[in-house]
Amino acid sequence: MFPILSVIVFLPLLGGIALLFFPQEQLGAIRWGALAFAGIDLVLSLILMLSYSTINTSATYLGTFHFSETVPWISAFGINYSLGVDGISLLLVVLTTLLTLVCVAASFRIEQKAKNYMALMLLLECGMLGVFLATNLFLFYIFWELMLIPAYLLVGSWGGPRRIYAAFKFVLYTSVGSLLMLAGIIAIGYYHQIATGSYTLELQNLLNTKMDSGVQTWLFLAFAVAFAIKVPLVPFHSWLPDAYSEAPFPVTAMLAGAMSKTGAYGFIRFCIPLFPSAAHALAPLISILAVVGILYCAVLALVQTDLKRLLGYSSISHLGVVLLGMFAFNVQGAEGSVLQMVNHGITTAALFLIVGYIEQRAGTRNLNDFGGLATRIPVLATIMGIAALSSLGLPGLNSFAGEFLALLGAFRANIVFGTLGTAVVIPAAWYLLRFFQGVMEGQSQRVGMVGAALRKGTLTDIGLREFLSLLPLLALIFYIGLQPAPLTFLLEPSVISTLNNLGSAFLR
């Protein structure tokens, strides 16, 4: 059988290596070469989705990975090269390949060490795809760590004035969480050996491993800290505004749109099914932290003047809804949380790209410097308005379906958490309207960098290449908003299988 999963994972890595052999001065070849590799990977992931949709109708689907690839590696320690895909990981794979293509296209103005930049973008894609497709815990950990290297270099080498601080803080936070997760991975294999006599790190074999509740709690926390940092979940969030604001805007779009989903994915793929008793016992704690993050970060977004920091806090707030729905432990909540991962990736990537395009033209991203740009850049203003309304959860746009299901699940599980989570619409409407109106409406600035850009004529509307980079995201904002059923069709069997691992007594 054709190893389509391996090709999807490692094609970006091969592309990144190939780019290193290009002469540095051949910027066009480097840029279009990176775009070609990202585009081919997106096509392969769409082929995978089409193939998977036919399998999904099979009665034997429930609870299995498909297109599985397993090669023995270090068998004595339970380490194999194992890949597999289900409905949850499939959507995140397609999201990652799409955002890589979009963000590479948005990076065509990068001239400083463009070859290294594009190679690192493709390496980052490889790491994220490996995280979503690995079904051996040690292989998952390798890809998890692999993501860190290009992300650190992209922020630290191509970022803003405080890039070294932001990159170091990002690495420090994620490294601590990763070490705890590695200890948890080793330990779960050990407890499986005690229960069965064999040491393995294969996910399918580890499910339903007999462990007492105390052991489950400690192992759950070891994994959960790593995932909570990556989401991030309050109080592990302070690295994010710095990293997002200092990174180049296409890198920020990748980090916010795709990499943040690896943390939420880790919760639903590993924490919940592997440690059901602990997941049930600690669900109130996770839900409280999610609600705190939803409301606290929404309030922080209200007072930001840096547009990227505003969107960064908004991102944390919206991802709190994802975790709140996930730990409701019902089909609506879990299905909505995964759907919202995809929707959030599409919308937040679009918003960060729009802010980046505006900053390129105006030379600033301080909200107080802007005003009245809608008449000067009407196309970009329209796109920005659509993306802002999508983030707000307007019915008919993509985020509504995911947030509605996630919050419905939260209501069914706990009416207090559901009510508090829904309350986010008030500050969200406030800061998103402030975000749009502050930039596009009101009186035009006549002084400062924006005024100078207007006088020089450099603050122009969006170009064709930039519009084409945003077009797939805009199309999905409307398509998923009007027709989310094809995605929920792919998701539902995998979500039910995951919840079944909690045991019927825990399902609500």
Is residue 364 very low, low, confident or very high in pLDDT (cuts 50, 70, 90)? confident
pLDDT at 244: 92
Positive or negative torsion for Cα 312, 133, 130, 202: positive
Nearest Cα to Cα of residue 89 among 258, 317, 331: 258
For 102-129, write each residue's pLDDT tens digit. 999 999 988 888 999 999 999 999 999 9
**Rounded mean pLDDT of 445-473?**
77
pLDDT above 70 (res 450)? no
SS (H, E, C) 346-396: HHHHHHHHHHHHHHHHHCCCEHHHCCCCCCCCHHHHHHHHHHHHHHHCCCC
Q: Are 480 and 350 in contact (CB under 8 A)?
A: no
Residue 444 — very low, low, confident or very high, per pLDDT cuts 50/70/90? low
Which residue, chain included where needed, has tokens 């592990």?
A: 236
In which band, very low, low, confident or very high, does the pLDDT at 441 lie, cut at 50, 70 and 90? Answer: confident
Cα separation, 407 vs 413, in Å, equals: 10
Q: b/e string for 10-19 if b means 16 or more Cβ within 10 A?
A: ebbbebbeeb
pLDDT tens for each residue of 183-210 = 999 999 999 988 888 899 999 889 878 8
For residue 98, give the nearest of 38, 16, 37 by alpha carbon.
Answer: 38
Report pLDDT digits (tens) over 23-75.
888 999 999 999 999 999 999 999 999 999 887 544 344 457 889 999 999 88
Section 296-310 average pLDDT: 92
How confident is the model over 291-317, as a mean pLDDT?
Answer: 92
Token digits of residue 24: 């540095």
Percentage of the chain exceeding pLDDT 70: 94
Domain-wise residue ranges, the chain: 4-500
Q: What is the mean pLDDT of residues 442-463?
A: 69
What is the pLDDT at residue 218?
Answer: 93
- Nearest in space to 330 (alpha carbons), one of 88, 500, 87: 500
pLDDT over 50 (residue 98)? yes
